[in-house]
Amino acid sequence: MTRILCFAGSARRASLNRKLARVAAHAARSAGGDVTLIDLADYPMPLYHGDVEIEAGIPSQARDLADLVRSHSGLLIVSPENNVSVSALLKNTIDWISRIKDAPAFSGKVAALLSASPGPFGGLRGLYHLRAILNSLGVEVLAQQFVLPRANAAFDAEGRLADPQQAEQVQRLAARLVDVVARLGEARG
């Protein structure tokens, strides 16, 4: 089965991106993926600093998360946009994991990107930076992506997307990720 790791780049309890991550994880499961949905709040790490790395090494939480990334072939990443870029939490997480040189976690993975924002752009501008970061680490990022503008009014009481067209777009993106990861697995296997 195709293993997909899903997470949001926000740890806020009421995060719109965490809500969208749950929707995306459900969509990937319904497309046949074996999905692990995690919360980055469960992997607290200090702000990346080279001197901290030299003195204390790579945090165990970064190593644990890197192990999770390695054990999944696909990534569903739902990223908020902060100052027209990725969130500090997501960037810091990626920075720490990428410092593990003896067993790179990201290389060879396939990712699908999503974003939610109460603003009119839906977090689109931050996904450009995330795509560039992931590409530089050897991640193949799907061309398709999903952004959810005005996300503060987009979810129903059960946490589902209220607009059926938006829900279908997430479903198609998740299914595409599962399909691409499965095909690459067959080609590599």
pLDDT of 1 = 73
Predicted local confidence at residue 130, as pLDDT: 98
Q: What does each of the 189 residues of the chain score in pLDDT, given as a tens digit?
A: 799 999 999 999 999 999 999 999 999 999 999 999 999 999 999 999 999 999 999 999 999 999 999 999 999 999 999 999 999 999 999 999 999 999 999 999 999 999 999 999 999 999 999 999 999 999 999 999 999 999 999 999 999 999 999 999 999 999 999 999 999 886 765
- Tell me, what's the pLDDT at 186? 67
Cβ neighbours, 10 Å, residue 32: 15
**Six token digits for residue 95:** 């920075």
Q: Which domains does the chain have, with CATH numbers?
A: 3-188 (3.40.50.360)
Short-list 4, 23, 20, 1, CA closest to 12: 20
Q: Residue with structure tokens 């003195």?
A: 55
